[in-house]
Chain A
Amino acid sequence: MTAAGAAPGSLQELAGRPGRATVLSALGRRCLIGLSVAFLAALLLAPLAVVFASAFHSGVQKYLQTFADPDTQAAIRLTLLTALVVVPVNTVFGLAAAWAIAKFEFRGKTLLVTLIDLPVAISPVISGMLFVLLFGMRGWFGAWLAANGVSIIFATPGIMIATLFVTSPYVARELIPLMQQLGDDEEEAAITLGAGAWMTFFRVTLPKIRWGLLYGVILCNARAMGEFGAVSVVSGHIRGLTNTMPLAIEALYNDYDFTGAFAVASLLTLLALATLALKALVERTGDRQP
């Protein structure tokens, strides 16, 4: 090193020291960590904290009162019901799509993948609007539906369909890369050992992808329960009937019942936190490693 003759401890010498732990890099490191923490604290942590702070602002009593309200209870029921219907359907869809795409070569595969991704790329408001255009009063099937006394828009089925559309990619998107990465060897081994199609699927493939599938389902569930834009367009905002939890938050907020709004929001925040925790768990349990 040429620094041997330099004055000991000079900044020049310190910066020129071999290895990664130089003063400059330590300085840069602190700056960058500080910047990241500040950015995330302002954008993520503060809103998160404010949800719970506001929810309990007027005491636990007031917090619990929100959930005694029949309209809020109806919103929670509707949200659960929607998730109960939408998530299984999208799980089956995701499994089928991932199997077809990860296991086989066929023409138009790229197009199919693009179509699967599409709902993520377009605005939730437009997603909702699509179904208004189809099933709304002046939509394609509007007249026929009205004549037969079936209501979809401004009713539970519309909410479910819009949610189905918006959350359809999540399971498939989680499973496709996972299945591609895990390969077909185990399935082929099962077949040469005499297993049939369903046995191969249930005994070999499903256990193989279970963690990824679980995460996909949980994510799909979180999005289904939290969807706002698309549901907002098709629901009609009828309290106690077509308001889901996010819509109830909006309604309470617009009524200046901030405690109520944040109380409901706190539930959904807990759901989001649970989802994130599970994701971390799945990544650590990691069935991604061979």
Chain B
Amino acid sequence: MRDGQPTVLPGFGLTLGFTTFFLSAVVLLPLAALMLLAGSTPLQQLLAAIASPRALASYELSFGGALIAACINLVFGFIIAWTIARYEFPGRRLMDAAIDMPFALPTAVSGIALTAVFSTNGWLGHYLDLAGIHVAYTRLGVILAMTLIGMPFAVRTVQPALLEVQRDLEDAAETLGAGRWYVFRTVIVPSVLPALLTGFTLAFARALGEYGSVIFISGNLPLRTEITPLLIVMHLEEFDYRGAAALGFVMLAASFVILLAINLLQTWGHARMARGEQ
């Protein structure tokens, strides 16, 4: 597009028509079904499903666990992105490629693999067990799985932002007499802050909805290690569509809020960049 003027390129009607049709049929229609079902459920029943003790416990684990996992990813995501962006060492390219592993690996596979590694007789679980730390079938295990699944999002959003921080800028700050830590705090962190927060939010969103990799390591003990998606599955297995839809509605609402947050963060980031370029 140049200057936003209409182009002579063909295919606008065809492609937009097909896209709109596809999205309506595959995305909008099912969403409408959920909304209508949740909306048509009597309020009493809806509240009962949303606020049952099991549901409340599952929110605590899903939201709390996702939050902790996102925090871990915020820190480690930055460290890993920094390491890959700034340091040259053997295996750097491999590390870079491996970041996407949780993204490409089927969640069921990472679920059973994590369980195998961290169970009491697993490779790492064995040592942790000696230290009195139990990972598999505890809330810690849930957080671990959530961390794994959100990690690529945290790293991949921060990485380009870090690459964009010009070394010149740091050099300039240093020649002006600023110390390294001061440069880090005043030059680097502010310029990657939007990306950091976006990565945090993306990791949180991903962890919140995660199912496959969590259910194996969680052990699914009622009120202890049940995540909300699992509760939805259980409702569905009992053909309690309304109960499932009610919980689904809560999760969807959370997703929408997160999407909104991400959009706002990105607008903020772009605005900062645009200002920076002037």
**Chain A interface residues toward B at CB < 8 A:** 24-25, 29, 32-33, 35-37, 39-40, 42-48, 50-51, 54, 92-93, 95-97, 99-101, 103-106, 112, 114-119, 121-126, 129-134, 136-140, 161, 164-165, 168, 184, 187-188, 191, 196-197, 200-201, 219, 222, 225-229, 232-233, 245-247, 249-250, 253, 258, 261-262, 265, 268-269, 272-273, 275-277, 279-280
Contacts and interface: CB of A to CB of B under 8 A. Distances in A.
Contacts of B236: 129, 132, 233
Given A188-B9, A197-B10, A268-B106, A229 B211 contact: yes
27 contacts: A32-B83, A35-B76, A43-B147, A44-B102, A47-B116, A50-B123, A93-B19, A104-B9, A114-B263, A115-B23, A118-B31, A121-B205, A123-B208, A125-B229, A125-B233, A129-B232, A129-B245, A130-B33, A132-B244, A161-B26, A184-B9, A219-B104, A228-B107, A229-B229, A250-B216, A258-B116, A280-B93
Contact of A136 (B15, B97, B241): B241
Interface in B10-69: 10-12, 14-16, 18-20, 22-23, 26-31, 33-34, 37
Contacts of B84: 36
Contact of B108 (A36, A100, A104, A250): A250
Contact of B23 (A42, A46, A112, A121): A112
A47 B31 contact: no
A275 B95 contact: no
Nearest to A197: B10
B87 A29 contact: yes
Q: 4 closest A-B pairs (Cβ-Cβ)?
A: A226-B106, A123-B209, A130-B30, A47-B113
A2 B93 CA distance: 40
A272 B211 contact: no
Given A43-B147, A272-B106, A228 B19 contact: no
Contacts of B123: 46, 50
B46 to A, nearest CB: 15
Interface majority SS on B: helix, strand, loop or mixed? helix
Residue among B84, B106, B112, B208 with the most chain A CB within 10 A?
Answer: B106
B76 to A, nearest CB: 5
B212 A229 contact: yes
B188 interface: no
Contact of A93 (B22, B116, B230): B22
B30 A165 contact: yes
Interface of B: 1-2, 4, 6-12, 14-16, 18-20, 22-23, 26-31, 33-34, 37, 76, 79-80, 82-84, 87, 89, 91, 93, 95, 97-102, 104-110, 112-114, 116-117, 122-124, 144, 147-148, 151, 180, 205, 208-212, 216, 229-230, 232-233, 236, 239, 241, 244-245, 248, 251-252, 255, 258-259, 263
A233 B26 contact: no
A261 B95 CA distance: 27
Given A43-B151, A93-B19, A126-B209, A114 B259 contact: yes
Contact of B9 (A112, A114, A191): A191
A96 B11 CA distance: 9
B54 to A, nearest CB: 16
A50 B117 contact: yes
Contacts of B205: 121
Contact of B241 (A35, A139, A161): A139
A133 B109 contact: no
A137 B240 CA distance: 11
A115 to B, nearest CB: 5
Nearest to B258: A121
Contacts of A184: 1-2, 7, 9
B161 to A, nearest CB: 16
B251 A123 contact: yes
Contact of A123 (B4, B29, B33, B229): B229
Contacts of A265: 106, 108-109, 112-113
B232 A125 contact: yes
B113 A123 contact: no
B265 to A, nearest CB: 14
A41 B168 CA distance: 33
A63 B207 CA distance: 32
A132 B105 CA distance: 26
B251 A32 contact: no
